[in-house]
Copies of this chain bind each other. A is one copy, B any other.
Amino acid sequence: MDHHALLLLGLLKNQAQHGYQLNDFIEKNLARVTNLKKATAYALLERLRESGLVAVKLEQEGNRPPRKVYAITQSGETEFLNLLRTELSSAEPISSPESTALMFMSELEPDERMACLNIRLEKLNAHIANLENIPTHKSAVNFALERQVVLLKADRNWLMGVLER
């Protein structure tokens, strides 16, 4: 949850926004580096409000449905910095679901195993190509994307090595 809160607080620190705006931005620009989902974001915003880390103001534009505009509060800013320091100093093991599958690889017949891993390789390559085609991204996201590419490439190269054995 912490990193989700960090993300929302960070975006709100930059600019007060309503839920739709936040989610739209996340879906369109950050989907590759975060897995925060829409419903989760709304729920989290509500929790942040309860904790006093963000403040809500109702707003209506023309006949559009009314919006809740969220703004970061003073204690929200403090919490943001605390979370940022903590997360930036941390290094958790990288545990993607695939690690589990790799443990049991040998339970499949060689043919099938190779087939699955080749599909995986294609997907990794597609992800990488996709990321590298983004026109020099908004600088904030930059580092996260760069790291993502580095990790994906390391994963791909390792996988290619395994396929050769």
What's the minimum C-beta distance from A45 to chain B, rounded to whole angstroms?
Answer: 16
Spell out A's residues near B (CB within 8 Å). Answer: 2-4, 6-7, 10, 13, 30, 32-35, 80-81, 84-85, 87-108, 112-113, 116-117, 119-120, 123-124, 127, 140-141, 143-144, 146-148, 150-155, 157-158, 162
| CB nearest to A31 among chain B residues | B93
The answer to whether B144 touches A103, judged by C-beta atoms less than 8 angstroms apart, is: yes
Q: Oligomeric state, in number of copies?
A: 2
The residue that A101 contacts in the complex, of B13, B30, B87, with Cβ under 8 A, is B87
**Bound complex: CA of A143 vs CA of B155, how far in Å?**
12
What's the minimum C-beta distance from A44 to chain B, rounded to whole angstroms?
Answer: 13
| CB nearest to A118 among chain B residues | B89
What's the minimum C-beta distance from A102 to chain B, rounded to whole angstroms?
Answer: 4
Given known contacts A150-B155, A158-B146, A88 and B94 CB-to-CB distance under 8 angstroms: no
The answer to whether A98 touches B92, judged by C-beta atoms less than 8 angstroms apart, is: yes
What's the minimum C-beta distance from A99 to chain B, rounded to whole angstroms?
Answer: 4
Chain B residue contacts of A98, Cβ below 8 A: 3, 87-88, 90-92
